[in-house]
Structures are given as structure tokens and as C-alpha cells.
Chain A
Amino acid sequence: MRIPLAWLREYVDWPVDTRTLAHDLTMSGTKIEAVHGGAADFEGVFVGKVLEQGRHPDADRLSLCKVEVGGETFQIVCGAPNVRAGLTVAVAKIGARLPGDFKIRKSKIRGVVSEGMICSARELGLGQDSNGILELAAGLASGADFAVLSSGDPILEAEVTPNRPDCLALTGIAREVAALYGGRVKVPALWKEPAGLAPCAVPVHIDSAADCGRYVGRVLHDIRLGASPDWLRARLESAGLHSINNVVDITNFVMLESGQPLHAFDLEMLQGPRIIVRRAHTGELLRTLDGVERALGPDILVIADAEKAIALAGVMGGGATAVRQTTTSLLLEAAYFDPSVVRAGRRKLNMNTDASYRFERQTDFEAVGAAADRATQLLVEFAGAQVRHVAADEAPGRPAPRGLELGTERCNRLIGTGLDAEAIAGLLRRLDLPATPAGDRVLVEVPSFRRDLRAEIDLVEEVARMHGYENIPADVVPPAPVVYRDNPPDMLVGRLRDLAVGLGYFEVRTSAFMESRDPERLQLAADDRRRRAVRLVNPIVTTLDTMRTSLVPGMLRVLRHNRNHDQEALRFAQVDRVFADVPGALPGLPAESEQMLFVAAGNANPPGWADKARPFDLYDLKGDAEAFFAQLGVDTSWVYGYTEPFLDDAASFVISGTYGAIGRGGAVREAVLRGFDLEISAHVLEIDVEALARHLGGAGRQRELPRYPAVKRDLSLAVPEGTTYGAVHAAVLAVAGPHLESLQCFDVFTGGGAPGERSLGLRLRFRDPDQTLTDAQVAPALEKVVRHLADTLHVKLRAGS
């Protein structure tokens, strides 16, 4: 909302400078986002007259103008569509300085010398309009310093929150200013309908009082349509609106002044003539002022004449009944439309106008008549209008008066003050709210312009901001009667992240969306749960319309981004949410769960002079996974092979704990990687956080350290082709007896034996907690192991061991 201070001063005075006013308004709840104007932010700009305007010899869109400034004539190239001979304009001469420290120099534009610039409002920081140059009043003297002429009219830019439609009017802002400094709002003298008029000429029928609470229709004759007077143009332009003609300008002026949108129909185009406020019929069409033909329906409120819809109520008028050059008589409309009906209609039609913006935030029911009268007065004065008929004023939906009570105790309890009823009433009265103290309560009659005040709490806020938020103390240390409680799942997320970072994986955060084709890219089966994704009905882009069901696609994209930027450390981890379109823990909502994903590619170690770089492989991934679970103290068992559609069956594993599967990992299939534009190999490890959490115990108990030494025995085994380490490992554990403490594989190599045969070096460590083991005690166990390996797996001791 633009607040031109020169205009605002017609309704209220203030005793402070512009800066202070802006600050005080902000601190009392009318946030001033910017202050424009004031002292002009430019110099060297003068009033000039365009003498000649011709085509630039070398550019169709540019004009070549002769401009006279204080007796001198300059040749200036201008790109504005509205430049023409005879205009009075603002000319930045060579050496001028414009906002943003932009200096005007003599220059050649497309080969033609330009001795300055003809300025638009925007170039001078005087407004937003950059579509054309400023057209100044013809009476201004050529050569006058435009900085002097245009200074002194600062404009405040205010953010008006949805609860304060009254501040979408200058009189509303004036009320806030008056409240700050104890002044009074000056209301423009009201025009009164004279006695002895003919009866109402255009009857008004309202179908539903709920849709349209009030409708005032004023017939005006003998209209002389034309340009607006200078003051009116200046007012509208300072508020950021274009001047169109005197009739439209007056309706806009009254809207900005009072907050009440108005509309003028060409009376001769109305059938009947009569006005019906009703819902549109299904399939009914209306071409609106902007030339768009719109299909309407019963959820849209229209103004109709005897035959058809002629306007979208509260949104926009129709083209056929719009004011035009030939218009001589008007029906002026001022009405109160239901906020939600206007909003529903304009949303359905995807429209947003100054009028609908105000109606959907609720307008002042009692201001309807006053606004119509104010516009009538201005039309009589500035458009030659004649009033011959009594206006129609149908008001079937007048809201009941609203009285509120504010308890002083509650008010003080919320704000932290100690105000008595008299003081509270005083603060409220500054806002023009009729407030009466009554014992420990304050009674308030809510005026029609503040229907946002619905309940006691709304008055508390008014008291708080009039008292001043800055006057509420802040130096009291809050008491602590509430005991802090840990949130184990939330803390686990942090713990897992720290473990991953400790293992050398950067923590990343990726988008919660995935591309709708990602399940395809992961080669998921048709019935895979991760294909049951939650989809948005209104995504930003159609490819990102899906909530991720897996962290894998996002992580592969992180990999690709860093790979494309030549990064070498390609290890990433994250703990975050995935979603599935299946019923979740909360009623009515889809499932959400926490997943953890590690991804690694490229080198396993940074290359240096001492160690050659080596590609990250499955054993690196396993090592990280083993370390991860060891850190968490979770015992795991591993199954190899069949895992995930996007993992290589020959190079992947599933990790389980005592309560079931916890995670899975391995090398990503090449075809899947290609789908994500990755031409390097990559490994992933995925952990179901909730499954993992089930395996985490409380505080660990200390185990006594062994007091007797261990006995180590190494076995060098020849393992036939097709027998896995896992099988050997399991076979050893099966028969080694209770004293086997650990089993370590310290060597693997091929060659030297039968084709396909591998050699494994195993170290077995035996220990008895209660005594020192002797060789004689270990030997039988070792023999049993060797025999069992030979019998079941055809694994033999290698010669020499």
C-alpha cells in the first residue's frame, strides 16, 4: 500500500519528520517497508518541451527529438512510446545524476548523438512506471529545476496484513497516525442527497443477503467525460495508479481514500434498466473489461441487468457496460460483498484486482453509502454530473452491532503489564474505538471499520501495540518449571550423522522430492513399495511432482554434481525422511520413515607421494559398514547376493540383526548409474533407521578384561573354486568350540594350486577366561576344525602349514 504523505495530510496531521513517522508506524504495527521520494534523489534534471519528434534514422523503436530547456535546444534520442511534440517533460541534461548514482553523459545511440535523456518516473525514483516518460503539466516553466518541483512529497510503502483491510485506505492509515500522536482524523465533508428528487430510476434486487449485504446504485446524468483535473491525476499517480478519465479516476480516488471499491456502468447499456445481484448461471458468459471472455457458474457472484450478467461482483466490470467516450449517464455502484464469495469467484477465474483484494479482506458496511456520496460529490464537481433521482440503497444484510468486553486481568496477564481499566480504555480510544471502563472490564462498541476485532484477544493486541511492544520488559529470566526430556529418535539421527562424518562421509541434505521417473531409473519392480509415491497435485515443475520413496536418486545426483565439478572426495551420507503412499502412523496421512544412506565413488583414499590412489570397492564399503555397526554395538549377520533391483547381485549384501533386516548395500548396477548420467562406479549402503533403533540397547555393561593369555593358531587353507569365505568362516565357527575368541582372515591369494583354487590365511584366537590354555587343550579343537573343513567343504591344509 502506497501512502503519499501529501495526500495523507488531508486527513491527519503529525508532529514528526518522515523518518520518525515511518519508524513509529512500524513499531505500532503498520510496517513501513520503504520510503520513496522526499528530497529528490537526482540532480541536473529540468523541465523541457518537446519541439519536434521524428524517427531515429537507424532504429524503428527510437525517436529523435528536439527538446527545448530554458531557451536552449538539445537533440535527444528517446525510446518511450509516448514521446510526442508538444509534451512537457523532465530532461536529464548532460552531467545530471539520477538515482543509483547513474550519471548522464553525452553519448551516441545507434550512431546518433543524444544530448541527455527524457526521464520516466522510475528513472527518477518517483514511481514504478517505466512504460513511458513522465508527462508533466503543460503549465510548468521550461528550464525549472525538476528536483525542486518534485521534492517534498515522500511516499511510504506499507505492508498491510490480511487482518487490517481498513489500512488499505488512506483514512484507515490516518486513524493509525492519529492514534500515535493523539490527533483527530479529518473526514471530508459529506455530500448530502438533495430533497425533492425523482424516485429511484434503477431498481436493485439482491438474491441473497449473505452474498451481498448492501448495494447502493446512484444514477448520474449529463456526464462530461474527459481528462481529470491536475490535482486528481497527481493524487492517483502518487499512489501508483494511471489516470484514465475523470469518471474512472474518481472511483479509484474514493477507493484509495475510503477503502470502498466503486464501479461505474454506462446507464444506457443496462437492460431494464435494473440491477440484479445473483449467482451466475451454469455456462453463462461474460466478456470482462480486460477483453477476456469468461465462462461463469453458480459459485460466481455477478451483477446482472434484466437480461444477462454485466459484471463480476467485486472483481471486475463487463466490457459491454463499461464507461466509454460516448457515455453521458452512469449507474454508480457501491456495495458490500461477502468476502469468501468474492474470493472463491476470483480464484476460480484466476483474477486479482484492487477491488477483489479489498472485498475479500472485508470492507466497511457502513462506508458504502458514504463512498457513493463522496464519489457523487466529485462527479458533480469534476464531471458535470447531474443528480435527478434518489439512489437505490438495498441493505438486507446489515451486520449486528458487536460489543466486546476486555478483562483487565487477562489483558495484563498476557502482556505482562499492570494497566487499570481507565488506562486500557484510554489506549483503545486513541484508535477511535469507543471504550468504556466498567470495574475490572472495558466495554468496546466495535465500529464498522474495524470488524477484524472479533474477540477479547483482538483488543488485547490493540492494547499491546498502543502501549508499545518496546515498553514491555524483556529482562526477566523465564522460570524453568518444565523438565527437559530427551527425544531418542531425534538424538539418534544426530548420532548416526556423526558416525558417518567420522568415517569420512560428508553429511548432505537433499531435496525431499524426486523425479516421477526415478523409480523407473532404479529399475524397481512394478509392485515395489517404493513405486507407491505420494504425488502433488500442484508441483512447481511436472518432473518434480513426487515425494521421494528412496534417498538413492538424490544421492546419486549429489555424486554427479561433485563428479562434474572434478571433486575427488566422493563420499556422502544423510539421514532423512522418505515417504510412501501407504497408511502411516498418523490417521489420514501417508507413511514417513527415516532412512540413512551412504554413497561412495571414486578413490578410496586421497593420492599422495606415499600411497597410490585406489578405487573405492566393495570391501571398503563393507569395512565402513562393519565399523558403523561395531560403533553402535549391534551384532549383525550378512547375506550375500539377492538384494535390491538397483544393486549388482554379485556385489551386494543384506545386513540383519536379531530383530530382522537393518540395511543393505553394494555396488550400484551400471545401467542404473547410466540412468543418472554417472559414468563411474558407485557403492551405496542403506540403513532403515527405525529397524536399527530396535537393535540399540541402553547403556552398555562393562565386560571384565581377560586375565589369562590367548593362544593364536594360523591355518593356511586351499579352498576349491566356488566355495566362499563365508562358508569357511561358518564351518570354523560351527566346530571350534567355546574357547574360540576370534577368527580373522589375514590373507587371500590365488595361484599355485589347482585351477580356480584360492588360498586363505586364517588366524584363530583361543582363550579360556579361567585359566591359561595349553597347546594340548587347543590342539583337539584345531584338529576338529581341519577335519570338518575337509569333510564338508573339501578345504585342505596347504602344504607346509
Chain B
Amino acid sequence: MRDGGDELGARIESLRRESRRDFEAAGDAPAVEAVWVRDLARKGRLATFFADLAQADSGLRRDLGQLLNRVKNELTEVHATAVARVAATRPPVRTGLDPSLPGRPRWVARPHVLSQVLDEMKSIFKGLGFSVVTGPEIELDHYNFEALNFPPDHPARDTQDTFYVNDTVLLRTQTSPMQVRVMEAATPPIRVIVPGRVYRNEQLDASHAAEFHQIEGLYVDQRVSMVDLKATVTHFIRQLFGPQTVARFKPHFFPFTEPSVDVDMSCFACQGKGCALCGKSGWIEIMGAGMVHPNVFAASGYAPEAYTGFAFGIGVDRVAMLRHGITDIRSFLENDVRFLSQF
């Protein structure tokens, strides 16, 4: 037996007596309130006994439960009596002033939920020494595709339906072109993130938007390995979704990284057991990553084997939807006040 039923019973009885005594002794409203907070509120002493009950021996649970409920009912009545009693002793009244009237209402504005999530993600990476850079949304095909090892007219381009301005200019489909622009402008060690809007020419529905946001990450130095990638990504996911979150790394294909990685995290709704949110798999796809491809180093003007590095890309909208249970990606651009004010 974990806890003697008699002992628990005795403690409940002593609480009952003490609480009744204090309610009856309370002389004004604040004093009654204080006893209520101590004993009857949601985190009061009585509530802790209800929690203990779950630990108690099953044979005793029923009796103790009944006892607790009796005490709760009794003390609730005692409290009500005390409230009525002290109400007779009214605070001072001033003509024309009624403190119980509602205050003058205020409109309170909020930052957009995407900004909030973006800021939180940025600050996690800042803590790891990643600087923030931004880049053009209208981009050259060269940076969006060719320098990222998408050969012209290659099937890999089919995975990213693209808006074109002309043959050589497009709306960036990813924040990855900044990998090349950053490397062209600097020498390693490099550690940057690139937040920003990206565009895909897709059929629009609840989970597909033509405009959404990504955070690109890039870390290049002499000896960056997949160990660093896994450590960084795992740290990020645990910071954002809680320390119990597990990250899973699967091989995948992106033209501009090799080896490439698809990152899953354990579903935070069901702790990996499988639920509607994660499609019963227990895992949620959260980002793509990989080791920077030597051809990307070459396109950036580096000797392909002089450095190693990793890169990753995370969908900000998707993270915001997961975190806040947002079901329609179109809500972000609709800007309904009733939506904006929830976050």
C-alpha cells in the first residue's frame, strides 16, 4: 500500500477542521478570499488530495473519494456563508463612483502569428550563433536552380512549380538561393539563417498556398559533419516543441545537398503513439536538410573539397499551423481580426 488510507483520511480531516475554523474567523472579504485560494481554489490544498487519491490503493480509493467530496461540499457551504457574512461589512462608498463597473475598454493589437513563430525560431538560431540575412524574392534562375545543382530542364524542377517573370527571372521557390549569394560574398566559417517569403505556382487549398515562408540555414566550415547537422536540428526542434521531442533523420533527395536528409519529429500531440494530427504514424515531417553539395560550393566560387557544411529549410507556416492547431494555411493572409487576436 502506497499510502495508508487511515493516514490520508486523518490529513483530510485536519484540513477540514482548519479550513472551517479560518473561514469562520475571517473578518473581511480579502481574508475570506485568502482562505479560499489556500484550500478550495484549483491549485488549493484540497485539490492536491484529489491528486493523491489517484495514487492511493484501489481498495481505499472509493471511500476516500467519497470522504473528499463530502469535505469539499461542506467547505464550499462554509465559504458561501463566510462570503455572505463579510458582505455586510461593506467597503467605503463614494457618491458617483462604482468600482464594480467595467473599465473603459481598450483595443489590444497583436503581432501576426507568423511573425511570432518566426521570431521564436530566429532567436533559437541566434542562440546557436546563426546571423540573420535576407535576400531578394524575385530571383535569377541561376541562383534559385542552376547554382543549386538543378540542371536546366531536369525533372527535379518538377517538384517546385515556379512563377516566371521571364526566361531568366522568377519568384524564388525557396530561400536556398541565398546559400550561394552568402557564400559568394563571404568566406567560411559561415553560419546564417535566411527567413523569407517563397512562392510556388500550386493549386490552392487548406494546406497549399502560393506564398509561404521558409527559414533557410547554412553552416560552412572546415569540418562540419552530419553530426553537427543532427545536433543542431535536434536542439532546434526540442527548443521549439519541448525537450521530450524526438527527431528522426531519413535519407532523401535534394539536388543541392548530399547526403540529403528528411527530418521528422515525434508527434507532440500523441508523443509518437499515432493520432489524427500525425496521420497515425507518430511522426511529423518538419524540415529538409543535408550536407552542402560540392557543386554548390563550386557554383559559389569555393574549391569544392575545401569546406564542408550543412543546410536546412523549414516551412514557417507549417510550424505555426502545427504549434497552434491552425487548419487552413489561407488564414495567414486573410487577416481576420478574430483570427489575429487569438495568438
Contacts and interface: CB of A to CB of B under 8 A. Distances in A.
Interface of A: 26-29, 31, 161-164, 339-340, 343-344, 347, 360-361, 410, 413-416, 455-458, 460-461, 464-465, 469-470, 472-478, 480-487, 489-490, 494, 497-498, 500-513, 534-540, 547, 558, 561-562, 565, 567, 569-572, 574, 577, 579, 584, 586, 588-590, 592, 605-611
A339 B156 CA distance: 12
16 contacts: A31-B262, A413-B308, A414-B259, A414-B308, A416-B227, A457-B258, A464-B226, A472-B227, A476-B228, A476-B231, A508-B335, A535-B165, A540-B210, A567-B336, A589-B139, A608-B102
A286 B44 CA distance: 83
B164 A414 contact: no
Contact of B140 (A579, A588, A606): A588
B190 A469 contact: no
A537 B138 CA distance: 13
A508 B340 contact: yes
Interface of B: 101-102, 104-112, 114-115, 119, 126, 128-134, 136-140, 153-156, 158-159, 163-166, 168-169, 171, 189-191, 195, 197, 199, 201, 204, 210-211, 219, 221, 223, 225-228, 230-232, 234-235, 247-253, 255, 258-262, 291, 293-294, 305, 308, 332-338, 340-341
A537 B251 contact: no
B112 to A, nearest CB: 4
Contact of A415 (B102, B163, B191, B259): B259
Given A28-B251, A509-B335, A490 B132 contact: yes
A509 B250 contact: no
Contacts of A483: 129
Contacts of B108: 504
Given A509-B114, A606-B107, A344 B153 contact: yes
A340 B153 contact: yes
A469 B249 contact: yes
A607 B128 CA distance: 47
A487 B253 CA distance: 32
B102 A164 contact: no
Contacts of A29: 250-252
A569 to B, nearest CB: 4
A509 B332 contact: yes
B252 A562 contact: no
Contacts of B232: 478
Given A457-B294, A472-B249, 15 more contacts: A27-B250, A461-B251, A469-B249, A474-B231, A478-B232, A513-B211, A538-B163, A562-B336, A565-B336, A569-B109, A569-B337, A571-B109, A577-B137, A586-B136, A606-B106
A361 B155 CA distance: 7
A589 B138 contact: yes
A501 B228 contact: no
Contacts of A571: 107, 109
Given A162-B155, A360-B155, A536-B165, A481 B259 contact: no
B175 to A, nearest CB: 13
A473 B225 CA distance: 10
Given A472-B230, A480-B128, A504-B107, A164 B253 contact: yes
A744 B156 CA distance: 66
Contacts of B211: 511-513
Q: Which 9 A-B pairs have the closest CB atoms?
A: A29-B251, A416-B227, A161-B253, A474-B230, A416-B225, A461-B259, A482-B191, A508-B335, A465-B251
Contacts of B134: 487, 489-490
B147 to A, nearest CB: 13
Contacts of B153: 340, 343-344, 347
A39 to B, nearest CB: 16
Chain B CB within 10 A, most for which of A500, A509, A561: A509
A478 B231 contact: yes
Contacts of A164: 253
Given A464-B259, A537-B165, A498 B111 contact: yes
B258 A458 contact: yes
Given A509-B333, A511-B333, A534 B165 contact: yes
A156 to B, nearest CB: 14
Contacts of A536: 163-165, 171
A473 B112 contact: no
Chain A CB within 10 A, most for which of B204, B227, B251, B341: B251
A538 B111 contact: no
Contacts of A361: 155
Contacts of B101: 609
A451 to B, nearest CB: 14
B106 to A, nearest CB: 7
A102 to B, nearest CB: 18
A592 B189 contact: no
Given A414-B226, A572-B335, A547 B138 contact: yes
A162 B107 contact: no
Given A413-B223, A464-B226, A31 B252 contact: yes
Nearest to A454: B295
Contacts of B226: 414-416, 464, 469, 472
Chain B CB within 10 A, most for which of A163, A415, A565, A572: A163
B123 to A, nearest CB: 11
Nearest to B291: A414
A588 B144 CA distance: 14
A583 to B, nearest CB: 12
B335 A501 contact: no
Contact of B104 (A163, A490, A611): A611
B253 A162 contact: yes
B251 A506 contact: no
Nearest to A475: B231
A536 B137 CA distance: 13
B112 A509 contact: yes
A455 B294 contact: yes
B210 A507 contact: no
Given A31-B250, A509-B114, A538-B164, A561 B335 contact: yes
B61 to A, nearest CB: 36
A474 B228 CA distance: 7
A469 B132 CA distance: 29
B190 A482 contact: yes
Contacts of A503: 109
A742 to B, nearest CB: 28
A503 B106 CA distance: 11
Contacts of A410: 305
Contacts of A572: 335
A565 B338 contact: yes
Contacts of B105: 606-608
Nearest to A407: B305
Given A482-B190, A567-B338, A469 B133 contact: no
Contact of B138 (A482, A534, A561, A611): A534
Nearest to A470: B249
Given A31-B262, A340-B153, A609 B102 contact: yes
Contact of A507 (B112, B154, B201): B112
Contacts of B255: 163
Contacts of A163: 156, 253, 255
B119 to A, nearest CB: 7
Contact of B155 (A343, A460, A570): A343
Contacts of A535: 165
Contact of B109 (A161, A506, A561): A506
B261 to A, nearest CB: 7
A503 to B, nearest CB: 8
B333 A477 contact: no
Contact of B333 (A510, A538, A579, A584): A510
A487 B133 contact: yes
Chain B CB within 10 A, most for which of A464, A500, A584, A609: A464
A252 B40 CA distance: 74
Contacts of B107: 504, 569, 571, 605-606
B104 A610 contact: yes
Nearest to A28: B251
A246 B336 CA distance: 59
